[in-house]
Amino acid sequence: MSPRLPVPGGPPRLVVAAPASGHGKTTVATGLIAALRARGLRVSPHKVGPDYIDPGYHALAAGRPARNLDAWMTSPEVIAPLFLHGAADADIAVVEGVMGLFDGVTGGADGIEDFASTAHVARLLDAPVLLVVDAAAQARSVAALVHGFATFDPAVRIGGVVLNRVGSDRHEQILRDALAGLGVPVLGAIRREDKVSTPSRHLGLVPVAERATEAVDAVAAMGDLVARTCDLEAICAMAATAPRMSATPWDPHLALGPTPRGRLGRRPRIAIAGGPAFTFSYAEHVELLVAAGADVVTIDPLRDESLPTGTTAFVVGGGFPEIHAAALSENERLRKDVADLAASGGVVVAECAGLLYLARELDAVPMCGVLDVSAVMTPRLTLGYREAVAAADSVLCRAGTRLRGHEFHRTVCEPAAGADGTRPAWTVRPSTGGSGVAEGHTTGNVHASYLHLHWAGRPRLARRIVEAARRVDPRRLARP
């Protein structure tokens, strides 16, 4: 296949949304991506919000990276550029929403009541919405539901409906008849007996990287389901009604701005944790590190026994280390390598799962011991958007830097931030307001926190990491 050029103004696009969580939008979005790809289309997958797991299934279905579109962690102004960056050379783009269509930051933000919601992103992309409705317990009332969603915000256009969990031919006809006069076409009807699902656990779906062949089979089944039950031609026609976009595609080099005078030099080697235990990352992070001048190498802490030769920085993001704690602990050589890197002045930046990996232990199982804290699982889920202020200068940012992030975990670390001889990394508070609390740990060239960040919202975080890594002489590190 010859290379395809970016589509001026962006490709045809649609947003898959639902009245609430649990209506089946992940199944429809993933299946639609797979079904369109099977027809020879190059599909660009996207996800509204901070989710890491759904994009894994999208990427598997599309055969290309999935991109998150999060107006809270980045900004509304960067949503269209990020979309165009991810959708370059695509024939069509599918964006899966989050929660209910109009569910955003509680109480609104920046004067927008549904800030960071699926509806907000649909408006920013000027994209039609494919509404997935769980009709299992509905008959004619489905018309009132769809009518309400179609008229609630005139700036959000419902281009079609997919009826999910339909019970019978008779049930489907009742639903279609009820919707016939609304001007919103029914573009699919999925039967209740169609059993296509992905396994879940304490923090949502199981990531693709942990499922191997099962994930491939699940995506194939979703693609077959949507191909059999939905009108793909009509859905593509709906996507084609999206107008041209005037935004300029996001570019990591331009986002970083001019390189400060005298900052050019060798390309520092930065290792990034990957594999089944560390699946939570955004594609833009690696792109920014490379654009800032780094040589980036991905390693799997479950299997790789050492950091790559010449590594002066280690970035370890989110995931499920608690599921793989025993295997991570058994890899003693890598744990020692990471501890030696940190002790020798190397740069270590960790968030959430990365924080647990740097701890002395996780559920009584030895970890890297970079931080003198103990992490344990709890029944309580900590979840939500956060506003954060950097509590101290660090390799990541200067004290006083304000940014937005997201927390998503069921663990706690003891002692708390700052009580282990480190400095707190952040003062954080929920997006709904309230008093700030100290969170995270920073010491030397180590920065570790529960806070997930999207660097496209503050690209120079990547440059600061690269510059710190460049200042570390790999010949002086204690590692053999």
CA angle 110, 112, 114 (to 5 degrees): 125
The answer to whether 42 and 90 have CB atoms below 8 angstroms apart is: yes
The dihedral built from the CA positions of residue 248, 83, 348 and 470, taken in this order, carries a sign that is: negative
- Active-site hit among 352, 368, 397, 413: 352
Burial state string for 324-361 with b = 16 or more CB within 10 A and e = fewer than 16? bbeebbebeebbbbbbbbbebbbbbbbbbbbbbbbbbb
Task: Name the residue type at position 56.
Answer: G
- Would residue 397 show up in a list of annotated catalytic residues for this protein? no
Backbone angles phi, psi at 446, to 5 degrees: -110, 135
CA 464 – CA 223 distance, rounded (Å): 42
The answer to whether 448 and 360 have CB atoms below 8 angstroms apart is: no
CA 429 – CA 368 distance, rounded (Å): 29
CA 236 – CA 32 distance, rounded (Å): 10
CA 475 – CA 344 distance, rounded (Å): 11
Burial state string for 222-237 with b = 16 or more CB within 10 A and e = fewer than 16? bbbbbbebbbbeebbe
CA 358 – CA 346 distance, rounded (Å): 14
Provide the annotated active-site residues: 352
